[in-house]
C-alpha cells in the first residue's frame, strides 16, 4: 500500500511538469488512480470485515456450556453458558470450564481442585473461565457475562497483536525479494533509455526526457506489485475456515489451516472418534451357582443401541423380568449409584442425550431398561422418563462421597448410606472399573443372596468370559461391578490423599460384569483407506485393552485381517519397558497403543516429531492438554473438556475421525487455492513487467499506462483471484504424499512456470500493439525500424517519409494491448482452476464462481471501452470485430502453453505412485 501511495504521489507531482492543454488532462490520470485506490480500500475493508464475521461466526459452533439444575427438570441439564443467570444452581466437575462466577454450596467429591492460574480469588468462589482440575461441586451463580471477574478484565483489555502465519511470513519474504527485483528492473529501464532523454519528442529537454522515462519506471513498479493479494488471501482463509466449520471442524488457530495440509500422522482416540461413542450395554452376566471351584453364569442380552431408555433384557432369547434376579437388582443399584452421569431429553432435537461421560451414561440407560423395582412408567413425559428408574434407586440410598476414578487403580467407587437406617441395611461402597483391576481386589463373589469366597477356578471362569467378550467380533468394553459390604466408617477414611483410595477398595465382593458395544463409525474404514492413499499414517491410541483395540483396528482397516501386530501394537506398560531407542523405533512403526496414560501421548508426539512427522493428536480430557499443545495440530473433541479445547488448534464438533480427514483435505485444498491465485496474480504481474520492459527496451510507444495497469491489477484481476478461493480440491489431492512444511511457497519449477506464462503475457501484449502499427487493416503499416525509433519521427526525417507522426499517439494500439492483457488474464484464471489437472478433467463449471467472476471482469472491461467518458479517461477506444478476433487469436494460446506445462508436471516432475508407496511401506514393516 505504501508503494501504491508513492506511485500516486509521483504521478501527481509529475503532472505539474506537463505543459499547455495537457496540464488539465495530466491531472485526470492521478485522480482516477486515487479513485481506484479508494474503491480498493473500501473493498478491502469489506473483505476484512467479512473475514472477521466468519471467524466470529465460528464461535457459535463451539458455545461454552454449563450444567444447571432448574425447576423444569429433576435432573441436571446442559445449557449454553450465556443463558445462565444469577441464582442458577450450577454443577461443575473435573475438566469443566466454570461457566459463570459461582459460590460453592456443596462439594460432591472427596476433593475439589480448581486451576485459578488466570485469576486469584477466594477459595469459596469459582470464577468464570477457570478450570476444574479434580472433583465435583455445586454452587449458586453470583455473576455472569461482563459482570464476572474475567469479564471485567476483558473490558480493560486492548487488542493484542495477531500472530503472523507461516504463509504470511513466506509472503513477506517473497514481497521483499519482489521489491528488490522490481527496483533493479526499474533502475535498469531508466538507465537503458538515458540516450533518449534528449530526443526531439521531449522538446530537446534532458529533464523532461528523464521525467518521461521515470514515469515508465513508475508504471513498471505498478505493474509488478500484486496490489489485490492481501485482501484475496484474507478472503480465502475466511472461506476455508467457514467451509471447515460446515464439515464440523472448528479451526481455532488460523496458522493450523496451513499446517493441516502437511499432516503426515494422525494419532486418534478410539472411543467416540473411530467409534460412534453411542455406548450401550448389550450383554451382562451374574453368577448363578457355585459348586466348589467351579461356577455357572447367568448371561443376559440387552436390546437398544442408543441412549434412549427403552429396551428389553433377554436370557436364552426369552424376555425376562430383572426384578426376579437378586444379582440383577444389586447390579442395577451399583450402576445407578456409582455414577456421575445422567440422561437428558433434548426437546429441540427430539433425542435422548448423555450428560456426563459416555460409559456411565450407558449404565444409566441400562438401569432404565432393567427397571428392577418394577416402577410404573406409564404416563411419564419423555423428560421424566429419562431418569425415572435411577431416581427410585437413588431414593433408597444417599451418596455421601465419591472416590474418583484414577488411571492407577482403574476404578471408581462411592460411599453410600441408607436413607432409612435399619439393622439389615448398612453403609456400603459400590465399585466399578476395569475387570482385571477390580477382580484382583475381590475376595468373594455374589451368587443370588449368597456371599461365596472367590477361588482361582471361579476367577478363571469369570476372566475367560470377559476375555471372550473383549476379543470377539463385537469387541465389547467390559466393566466389573463389585461391592464392599463392610467399609470403614467414613470418619476413619483419609479422603485428602487419593493414594489411599485403593486401600479402601479391597475385600470386595464381585457382583457381575457388563459388556458395552461401541461400534466403529460406518465411514471410518473409507477414511482410513483415503489416509493411506494420501501417505498419512493413522495410529489408534486408546485406554481400552489391547485385544479390543487390535480387533477394532482390524475392522476399520488400520491392520489387515491376518497381519502380525507384534511390532505394531503396544500397551502402555509394554512401551514403558522398552529402551529409549526401542521406544523411538516403536513409534516409527506402530499403529496401535492400548492402555495408555496421557503422559504416553506426549512421549509419542515427541518421538514422531524427531522423525520430522507433522502430527495431529486427538484428546478430550484435562490430562490430554499437554499432548494436544505439543502436537502440531491438537484436535479436541466437541464433547471434550474445556481444558482440552483451550489447548487445541481445532475442535471436532461431531467427534468424528472422518472429519479430521476431511479437514486435512480441506487444508490441502486451501493451500493449493492460495498457491493458485498467487500464481495467477504473480504471473499476471510478471506479464505486465515484461510488457513495460519490452516497450522500453525496444523503443516502442507506451503499450500500457499506470492507470490502466492499476485498473487491471485491482479490479479486473481481483475478481477472478477471489473466485479462485472457491476452487474444488484437485481430483488427486488425496493421492499425493503430505507436503513438506519447509518447502518454499514458490519452487523452482513454479517460478519457471510464472516466468514462462508471464513472458508470453508480456510478449502477447506488446505484440498486439505492434500488430496494429505494422499489420492491421486501417493501421499505419509502419516498419519495425520506424516503430522502434518513433521518437525520432519528424517531417524532415527521410526514415519516416510518408508517415504521419500523430499515429504513434493513436489509442488503438493501447486498446489492443489492454484488451489482450485482460482476455489473456481471464484465460489464465481458467488455467488456475488446478495446479496440474487439465481443463479437460477439471472444466470451468467446477467453480461456477470463477465463471461468474470472469464474466463480470469482461463486463467491466467493456464498460470502460464502450461507455463514455471512460474511454477518454483510460485513453482507449472501441474495437471492431476484426480487432477482437485478433485479440482472441493472440490470447487463447496461453491455455495451450499452460496445458503443456501441466502435462510435463504431471508426468515427469510430480511424485508418482512409487514415491507414495514409501510412507506406507515404512508403516507396514
Contacts of 115 (CB under 8 A, 6+ apart): 130, 131, 132, 133
Nearest to 386, CA basis, from 364, 356, 412: 364
How many CA atoms lie within 13 Å of 188's alpha carbon, on the beta-carbon side?
13
Other CB atoms within 10 A of residue 481 CB: 28
Nearest to 642, CA basis, from 98, 114, 97, 116: 97
Contacts of 430 (CB under 8 A, 6+ apart): 333, 334, 337, 338, 413, 414, 416, 481, 482, 483, 484
Coil, strand, or helix at residue 439? helix
Q: Residues 686, 833, 855, CA angle at the centre, nearest 5°?
A: 85
Q: How far apart are CA 547 and CA 567, in angstroms?
A: 15
Q: Cα torsion for 333, 335, 337, 338, to the nearest 10°? A: 130
Label residue 562 exposed, middle or buried (CB < 10 Å: 0-12, 13-18, 19+). Answer: exposed
Nearest to 131, CA basis, from 621, 596, 619: 621
**Catalytic residue (one of 269, 340, 620, 730):** 269
136's grid cell:
465435583
Coil, strand, or helix at residue 711? helix
Asked if 363 and 281 count as a contact pair (C-beta separation under 8 A), the reply is yes
How far are the Cα atoms of 20, 202, 208, 335, 532 from residue 205, in angstroms, in the given order? 16, 6, 5, 99, 71
Residue 302 bridge partners (DSSP): 313
Asked if 883 and 760 count as a contact pair (C-beta separation under 8 A), the reply is no
Q: How far apart are CA 331 and CA 322, in angstroms?
A: 10
Question: What is the per-residue DSSP string for 108-146?
Answer: -SS--EEE-TT----TTEEPTT-EEEE-EEEEEEEE-GG
Other CB atoms within 10 A of residue 806 CB: 9
Q: Cα torsion for 347, 349, 351, 356, to the nearest 10°? A: -90
Question: What is the per-residue DSSP string for 609-622?
Answer: HHTT--EEEEE-SG
410's grid cell:
482403574
Q: How far apart are CA 47 and CA 443, in angstroms?
A: 70
422's grid cell:
435399619
Q: How far apart are CA 337 and CA 334, in angstroms?
A: 5
Nearest to 707, CA basis, from 2, 1, 12: 12
Other CB atoms within 10 A of residue 922 CB: 13
How far are the Cα atoms of 127, 268, 478, 847 from residue 842, in angstroms, in the given order? 55, 34, 51, 9
Coil, strand, or helix at residue 193? coil
Other CB atoms within 10 A of residue 63 CB: 12
Provide the greatest CA pair distance for the chain: 132
Other CB atoms within 10 A of residue 638 CB: 18
Q: How far apart are CA 259 and CA 165, in angstroms?
A: 10
Q: Is-catalytic flag, 83?
A: no
- The residues that are catalytic are 269
Amino acid at each position: 500500500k505504501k508503494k501504491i501511495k508513492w506511485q500516486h504521489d509521483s504521478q501527481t507531482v509529475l503532472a505539474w511538469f506537463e505543459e499547455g492543454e495537457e496540464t488539465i488532462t495530466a491531472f485526470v490520470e492521478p485522480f482516477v488512480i486515487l479513485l481506484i485506490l479508494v474503491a480498493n480500500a473500501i473493498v478491502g475493508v469489506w473483505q476484512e470485515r467479512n473475514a472477521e464475521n466468519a471467524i466470529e461466526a465460528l464461535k457459535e459452533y463451539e458455545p461454552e456450556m454449563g450444567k444447571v439444575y432448574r425447576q423444569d427438570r429433576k435432573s441436571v441439564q446442559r445449557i449454553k453458558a450465556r443463558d445462565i443467570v444469577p441464582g442458577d444452581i450450577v454443577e461443575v466437575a473435573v475438566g469443566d470450564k466454570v461457566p459463570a462466577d459461582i459460590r460453592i454450596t456443596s462439594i460432591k467429591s472427596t476433593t475439589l481442585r480448581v486451576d485459578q492460574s488466570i485469576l486469584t480469588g477466594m477459595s469459596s468462589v469459582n470464577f468464570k473461565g477457570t478450570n476444574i482440575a479434580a472433583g465435583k461441586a455445586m454452587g449458586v451463580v453470583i455473576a455472569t457475562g461482563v459482570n464476572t471477574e474475567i469479564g471485567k478484565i476483558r473490558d480493560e483489555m486492548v487488542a493484542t497483536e495477531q500472530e503472523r502465519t507461516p504463509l504470511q511470513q513466506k509472503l513477506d519474504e517473497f514481497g521483499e525479494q519482489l521489491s528488490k527485483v522490481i527496483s533493479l528492473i526499474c533502475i535498469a529501464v531508466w538507465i537503458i533509455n538515458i540516450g533518449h532523454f534528449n530526443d526531439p519528442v521531449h522538446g530537446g529537454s534532458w529533464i523532461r526526457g528523464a521525467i518521461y522515462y521515470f514515469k515508465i519506471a513508475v508504471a513498471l513498479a505498478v505493474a509488478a506489485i500484486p496490489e489485490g493479494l492481501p485482501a484475496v488471501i484474507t478472503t480465502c482463509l475466511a472461506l476455508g475456515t467457514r467451509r471447515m466449520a460446515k464439515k464440523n471442524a472448528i479451526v481455532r488457530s488460523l496458522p493450523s489451516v496451513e499446517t493441516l495440509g502437511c499432516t503426515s500422522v494422525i494419532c486418534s482416540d478410539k472411543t467416540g472418534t473411530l467409534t460412534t461413542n453411542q455406548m450401550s450395554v448389550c450383554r451382562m452376566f451374574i453368577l448363578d451357582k457355585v459348586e466348589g471351584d467351579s461356577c455357572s453364569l447367568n448371561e443376559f442380552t440387552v436390546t437398544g443401541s442408543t441412549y434412549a431408555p427403552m429396551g428389553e433384557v433377554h436370557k436364552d432369547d426369552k424376555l425376562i423380568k430383572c426384578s426376579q434376579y437378586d444379582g440383577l437388582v444389586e447390579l442395577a443399584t451399583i450402576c445407578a449409584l456409582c455414577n456421575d452421569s445422567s440422561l437428558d431429553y433434548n426437546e429441540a432435537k427430539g433425542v435422548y442425550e448423555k450428560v456426563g461421560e459416555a460409559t456411565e451414561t450407558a449404565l444409566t440407560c441400562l438401569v432404565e431398561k432393567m427397571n428392577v423395582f418394577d416402577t410404573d412408567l406409564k404416563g411419564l413425559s419423555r423428560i421424566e422418563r429419562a431418569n425415572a428408574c435411577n431416581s427410585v434407586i437413588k431414593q433408597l440410598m444417599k451418596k455421601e462421597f465419591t472416590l474418583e476414578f484414577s488411571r492407577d487403580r482403574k476404578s471408581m467407587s462411592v460411599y453410600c448410606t441408607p436413607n432409612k437406617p435399619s439393622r439389615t441395611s448398612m453403609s456400603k461402597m459400590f465399585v466399578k472399573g476395569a475387570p482385571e483391576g477390580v477382580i484382583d481386589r475381590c475376595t468373594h463373589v455374589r451368587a443370588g443372596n449368597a456371599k461365596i469366597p472367590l477361588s482361582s477356578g471361579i476367577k478363571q471362569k469369570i476372566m475367560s468370559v470377559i476375555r471372550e467378550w473383549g476379543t470377539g467380533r463385537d469387541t465389547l468394553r467390559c466393566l466389573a461391578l463389585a461391592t464392599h459390604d463392610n467399609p470403614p466408617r467414613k470418619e476413619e477414611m483419609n479422603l485428602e490423599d487419593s493414594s489411599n483410595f485403593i486401600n479402601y477398595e479391597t475385600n470386595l465382593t464381585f457382583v457381575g460384569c457388563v459388556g458395552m458395544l461401541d461400534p466403529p463409525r460406518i465411514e471410518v474404514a473409507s477414511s482410513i483407506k483415503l489416509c493411506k492413499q494420501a501417505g498419512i499414517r493413522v495410529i489408534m491410541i486408546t485406554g481400552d485393552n489391547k485385544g479390543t483395540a487390535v480387533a477394532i483396528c482390524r475392522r476399520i482397516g488400520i491392520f489387515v485381517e491376518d497381519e502380525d501386530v507384534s511390532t505394531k501394537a503396544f500397551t502402555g506398560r509394554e512401551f514403558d519397558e522398552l529402551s529409549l531407542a526401542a521406544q523411538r523405533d516403536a513409534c516409527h512403526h506402530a499403529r496401535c497403543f492400548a492402555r495408555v496414560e496421557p503422559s504416553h501421548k506426549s512421549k509419542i508426539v515427541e518421538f514422531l516429531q524427531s522423525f520430522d512427522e507433522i502430527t495431529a493428536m486427538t484428546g478430550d480430557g484435562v490430562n490430554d492438554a499437554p499432548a494436544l499443545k505439543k502436537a502440531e495440530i491438537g484436535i479436541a473433541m466437541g464433547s471434550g473438556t474445556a481444558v482440552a479445547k483451550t489447548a487445541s488448534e481445532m475442535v471436532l464438533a461431531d467427534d468424528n475421525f472422518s472429519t479430521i480427514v476431511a479437514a486435512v483435505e480441506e487444508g490441502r485444498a486451501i493451500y493449493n487455492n492460495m498457491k493458485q491465485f498467487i500464481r495467477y496474480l504473480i504471473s499476471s504481474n510478471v506479464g505486465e513487467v515484461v510488457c513495460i520492459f519490452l516497450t522500453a527496451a525496444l523503443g516502442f510507444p507506451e503499450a500500457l499506462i499506470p492507470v490502466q495497469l492499476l485498473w487491471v491489477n485491482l479490479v479486473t484481476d481481483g475478481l477472478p483471484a477471489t473466485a479462485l478461493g472457491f476452487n474444488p480440491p484437485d481430483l488427486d489431492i488425496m493421492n499425493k504424499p503430505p507436503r513438506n512444511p519447509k518447502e518454499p511457497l514458490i519452487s523452482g519449477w513454479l517460478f519457471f512456470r510464472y516466468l514462462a506464462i508471464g513472458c508470453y503475457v508480456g510478449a502477447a501484449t506488446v505484440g498486439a500493439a505492434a500488430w496494429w502499427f505494422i499489420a492491421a487493416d486501417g493501421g499505419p503499416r509502419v516498419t519495425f525500424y520506424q516503430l522502434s525509433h518513433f521518437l525520432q519521427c519528424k517531417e524532415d526525417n527521410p526514415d519516416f517519409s510518408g508517415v504521419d507522426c500523430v499515429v504513434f499517439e493513436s489509442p488503438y494500439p493501447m486498446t489492443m494491448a489492454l484488451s489482450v492483457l485482460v482476455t489473456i488474464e481471464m484465460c489464465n484464471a481458467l488455467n488456475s482452476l488446478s495446479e496440474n489437472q487439465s481443463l479437460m478433467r477439471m472444466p470451468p463449471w467446477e467453480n461456477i464462481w470463477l465463471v461468474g467472476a470472469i464474466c463480470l471482469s469482461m463486463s467491466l472491461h467493456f464498460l470502460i471501452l464502450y461507455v463514455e467518458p471512460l474511454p477518454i479517461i483510460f485513453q482507449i477506444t472501441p474495437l471492431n470485430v476484426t480487432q477482437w478476433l485478433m485479440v482472441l487469436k493472440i490470447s487463447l494460446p496461453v491455455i495451450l502453453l499452460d496445458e503443456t506445462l501441466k502435462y510435463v508436471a504431471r508426468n515427469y516432475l510430480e511424485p508418482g505412485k512409487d514415491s507414495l508407496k514409501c510412507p506406507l511401506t515404512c508403516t507396514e514393516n
